[in-house]
Amino acid sequence: MPKVGVVLSGCGAQDGAEIHESVITLLALDRAGADVTIMAPDMNQFHVINHLSNEEIDTSRNILIESARIARGNIVDVATVTGDELDALIFPGGTGMAKNIFDYAMAGPDCTVIKDVQRLTMEIIEAGKPLGAICIAPVMVAKVLQKMGRSGKVTGGCDKQITADIQSMGIETEQAGAGDIVVDEENKIVSTPAYVEAKSIKEAAEGIEKLVARVLQLIG
């Protein structure tokens, strides 16, 4: 039974993990018989958004506690997980990921990935284990590859700004629609744009399900 880590960034597309993308990922892994470890950083999220009005709320929320809503409480602090414990790693997206896991939403291509996520991502890549990146997560993976001094390939969908930002990190891009995946065979990195391009949950699911299947195939 393959052991797959899934990193969440909160609960809600605007300030945490994209819920559809997260649930589709977890469902596909469960259907495939994977042993899943859900994790998130134990720290406060960047801000809190009212998802009805899209307005910021003057309060604070913890990323791990919020992510536990999606995980039904079965979740651990990403700081406690090492690459040795996993066969693969997958990152669902969401605008909140680009605020909580790395600060791309604020800093653009000069962004920084939080320490424990960067460490775990590097451990997976260095060990030659498969990694899946959904939605905005390919930008985070590109930043880690840049930090490692490695080349690679991911998708920014068909978004010109995201694509340009990834390329500015020295990482190759390939356009993809919501139902497509892009595979970097050398680094075993699989990416799909999901809601960067998707107009419905059905469209997002098509690419995510392909990504999960390919990640599992790449486990040696």
Catalytic residue numbers?
135
Give yes or no for a contact between 131 and 218, defined as CB atoms under 8 angstroms apart: no
- Write the burial class of residue 87 (CB in 10 Å: 0-12 exposed, 13-18 middle, 19+ buried): buried
Pairing of strands 35-40, 3-7: parallel
Give yes or no for a contact between 41 and 63, defined as CB atoms under 8 angstroms apart: yes
Pairing of strands 88-91, 48-50: unpaired
* Rounded-to-integer distance, Cα 44 and Cα 117, Å: 15
